Structure 1
Amino acid sequence: MIRYLIIDDEPIAHDIIKGYCDLVPNMQLIKNCYDALEAFEFLNTNEVDLIFLDLNMPILKGFDFLKTLQNLPKVIVTTAYQEFALEGYEYTISDYLLKPFGFERFLKAINKAFSSVNQKVMPSENSIISNRIFVQGNKKHFQVELENILYIEATGNYTKIITTIETITIREKISVFLEQLPKNDFMQVHKSFAIAIKHIKSVEGNRIKISDFTIPIGKLYKMNVNGLLNSKL
């Protein structure tokens, strides 16, 4: 379960974020805070996994609030002011949601915060969440287990996600989708293909065998594959 806190001085922002979170499995609202001082007092005696943080609040601004925290959870900034983004790199912000934001953009922020293997490991009860990703295709939202993804194929402005269970087509370029995946687990091997390293069955010439599928290796990506093979020797 991902336990989250909303810090925003606008009640409508709380309603929007909670509404989106209610559509995502395993998200639990711990508290609504309408200023940073209220959140500071709460976090002195409680822990959360994720904070949705507005920046432009009365009394204590968002980034000034972050300076007061010793153990910083994951933070997704929700702001109407794009110019604050650069300052946030000092605080290891997971993502920025520029108001107004839609559900699809919201899902990307959640994925970015919890799907990367380079991020802080979640508590054991939440660890399974860090191995899942949410995607939108055919007017539905799907939750996909990362370990089930065999490979990814670009088809114009769309991307096919081929898993051990099904094939899902999303309206997103392969380069954008790859940014959401753990770089140690997935590798682009062709301008139109990226593969899950753990599912490689064999490599022969310019082809990779994954399950019953044959994936081509592009000339520009051959070095990446060779590097992977040499690292396993």
Structure 2
Amino acid sequence: MISYLIVDDEPIAHRIIEKYCSMLPHLEKKGNCYNAFEAMQFLNENEVNLLFLDINMPKLSGFEFIKTISNPPKIIVTTAYKEFALEGYELNISDYLLKPFSFERFVKAINKTINTVKEKDTLLGFTKPIIESLGTSFFLKGDKKHTQVHLKDLLFIEAYGHYTKVYLKNEMIVSHEKISSFEKLLPDSQFIRTHKSFIVSKSEINHIEGNRIIIQNHKIPIGQTYKVNVNKLF
């Protein structure tokens, strides 16, 4: 698990980051601090792998706070001020998020942070998610729980950086499994790889338009090297 601490004087910023983190496996909140002095005390008593840090805080700024930490964890700056980005990177931060930031940009920052850690499995204490097949269903670890996914409810799967989005009829689960693991698990008779980033359920395809597959309101691309797979459906 990647343990994280939020340091920001705005409560709404905490809620947004917590919401985004709850959608990603392997992220575990350790605490909330609303100024740099609270964060100093927290880090003296606890260890975390990642800080979400605001810059503009009372008494001591985020960058001044970074300079007080002798062995800082990975840091993602979250701020409304774009003009301090260069200074942030000079302090070896992992990424610089401008408020308001989207979930997609947030995931990109998390992926970038993971990439900067050598031997991340050891340093961050990852445990590989479990996919255990039961024939017509499988258990998938995501959102800090194991969910039983029934093949009949699975629409498609999308590779998403270090994560994979599993789209079901009633929900979407973000998993840390690679799309190649799903390709090995899912039966060829029911699922087809249509793109380097997509696997779809054959029975859920509404129609095919040129180089796109339509499933409900989703438009899924057909990759050039996977066209032969799709042509076998006709």
TM-score, structure 1 length as denominator? 0.59
RMSD: 3.7
Shift of 1:91: 1.8
User: 1:32 aligns to what?
Assistant: 32
Shift of 1:118: 4.4
User: 2:139 aligns to what?
Assistant: none
User: 1:143 aligns to what?
Assistant: 175
Structure 2 vs 1, CA of residues 51 and 92 (structure 1 numbering), >3 Å: closer, same or farther? same
- Are 1:84 and 2:84 counterparts? yes
Whole-angstrom CA distance in 1 between matches of 2:18 and 2:40: 20
Shift of 1:61: 0.3
Of residues 156, 159, 162 in structure 2, which corresponds to 1:133? 162
In structure 2, what residue type is equivalent to 1:43?
L
Shift of 1:123: 3.1
Q: In structure 2, the residue corresponding to 1:75 is in which secondary structure?
A: strand
Listed as ranges, the matches of 1:83-232 within 5 Å are 83-116=83-116, 118=118, 122-123=122-123, 125-126=125-126, 128=128, 133-134=162-163, 140=172, 142-145=174-177, 148=180, 160-161=195-196, 166=199
Shift of 1:125: 2.6
In structure 1, what residue type is equivalent to 2:163?
F
User: 1:219 aligns to what?
Assistant: none
Which structure has more relative contact order (CA 8 Å, sep 6+)? It is: 2
Shift of 1:117: 5.7
Structure 2 vs 1, CA of residues 20 and 73 (structure 1 numbering), >3 Å: closer, same or farther? same
Contact 2:24 2:174 in 1 (8 A): no
Q: In structure 2, the residue corresponding to 1:126 is in which secondary structure?
A: coil
Contact 1:79 1:97 in 2 (8 A): yes
Whole-angstrom CA distance in 2 between matches of 1:28 and 1:119: 19
User: 2:46 aligns to what?
Assistant: 46
Shift of 1:120: 6.3
In structure 2, what residue type is equivalent to 1:17?
I
In structure 2, what residue type is equivalent to 1:161?
K
In structure 1, what residue type is equivalent to 2:61?
K
Contact 1:81 1:98 in 2 (8 A): yes
Whole-angstrom CA distance in 2 between matches of 1:35 and 1:21: 21
Q: In structure 1, the residue corresponding to 2:163 is in which secondary structure?
A: strand
Comparing 88-97 and 119-128, the one that deviates more: 119-128
Structure 2 vs 1, CA of residues 94 and 119 (structure 1 numbering), >3 Å: closer, same or farther? farther
Q: In structure 2, the residue corresponding to 1:44 is in which secondary structure?
A: helix
Q: In structure 2, the residue corresponding to 1:57 is in which secondary structure?
A: coil
% identity of equivalent residues: 51
Shift of 1:146: 5.0
Structure 2 unaligned blocks of 5 or more: 130-160, 182-193, 201-212, 230-234
Structure 1 unaligned blocks of 5 or more: 150-158, 172-191, 194-212, 214-233
Whole-angstrom CA distance in 2 between matches of 1:98 and 1:81: 7
Whole-angstrom CA distance in 2 between matches of 1:91 and 1:121: 25
Shift of 1:24: 1.1
Runs (4 or more) in structure 1 with deviation over 2 Å come to 115-129, 134-149, 159-163
Aligned residues: 166
Q: In structure 2, the residue corresponding to 1:9 is in which secondary structure?
A: coil
